Amino acid sequence: MTKQELTDKKRCLWAEKGGELDKQYHDEQWGRPEHNERNLFEMLVLEGMQAGLTWSLILKKRKNFKKAFDNFEPKKIAVYDANKIRALLSDSGIIRNRLKINAAITNAKAYLALKKQYGGGLDKFLWSYIDFKPIQNKWKTIRQIPAKTELSDRISKDLKKLGFKFVGSTIIYAYMQAIGMVNDHTMNCFVRQR
């Protein structure tokens, strides 16, 4: 699809109102089923970092996050020490929030424990809640899309039991949208129609 064709297409309202990074993320990633473990972990960390902020800000800092967090490799993040945390807190290219940085480290440890305990990672764990088939919602407007659901409540609760942090139900529903567990592209969106 050419740049002009993409410009002419109708997107979900949040992407239409956003900048070029929002549009690109919407068109190429958001709502597409993701099964790659590193990508799933990256999105979990980024959704936690986004709490209370805009997704546009996270997208602008995404490359910096990848560099600062060793390309989101859980084994590396799980062993971050006080020196690494100090370096992250002084890195203006990322969100410098001690609780969120500590949560990323905690989540890396919880992720590794999840893999060991259940013989699979986030892919197997998360997608089993929906029998490995994305939920196809049929929203006409962005106002109809919920901030959380009973399913995101349940997944949030289960992740917390496993030791994950910054995984409240609203964060988890946004995560489910991002990794394509739910298709929340509005009915008039060209990505939905594709």
CATH value at residue 143:
1.10.340.30
Q: Please tell me the distance from the alpha carbon of residue 26 to that of residue 36, in angstroms, as a whole number.
A: 18
Q: How many domains does the chain have?
A: 1
State the catalytic residue, choosing from 30, 34, 55, 175. Answer: 55
Q: Quick check: is 90 in a domain?
A: yes
Work out the average pLDDT over 131-157: 97
* Predicted confidence (pLDDT) at residue 24 exceeds the cutoff of 60: yes
Give yes or no: 16 in active site: no
Cα separation, 81 vs 94, in Å, equals: 18
- Whether 3 maps to a domain, the answer reads no
**pLDDT of 153:** 98
Q: Is 55 part of the annotated catalytic residue set?
A: yes
In a domain, 4, yes or no: no
Reported as a pLDDT band with limits 50, 70 and 90, residue 194 is confident
Question: What is the spatial distance between Cα 189 and Cα 135, in angstroms, rounded to a whole number?
Answer: 17
Write out the two tokens for 63: 């490359």
Backbone angles phi, psi at 82, to 5 degrees: -60, -35
At position 28, the amino acid (one-letter code) is E
Average pLDDT, the chain: 95
Between 6-20, 78-92, 130-144, the lowest mean confidence (pLDDT) is in 6-20
Does some domain include residue 140? Answer: yes
95 within some domain: yes
Domain contains 1: no
* Structural domain containing residue 85: 9-193
Catalytic residue among 25, 111, 139, 175: 25
Sign of CA pseudo-dihedral 85, 93, 17, 39: negative
Coil vs helix vs strand at 134: coil
Reduced DSSP (H G I as helix, E B as strand, rest coil) percent helix, strand, coil of the chain, to 5: 65, 0, 35
Catalytic one among 30, 34, 42, 47?
47
Q: Is residue 100 part of a domain?
A: yes
Whether residue 14 has pLDDT greater than 80: yes
For residue range 57-89, list pLDDT tens digits in order. Answer: 999 999 999 999 999 999 999 999 999 999 999
What pLDDT sits at residue 2? 56
Q: Which residues pair with 156 in a beta bridge?
A: none
Would 149 be classed as within a structural domain? yes
Asked if residue 114 has pLDDT above 90, the reply is: yes
Question: Cα dist. 172→8, 87, 146, 163 in Å?
Answer: 32, 28, 12, 15
> Is position 5 annotated as part of the catalytic site?
no
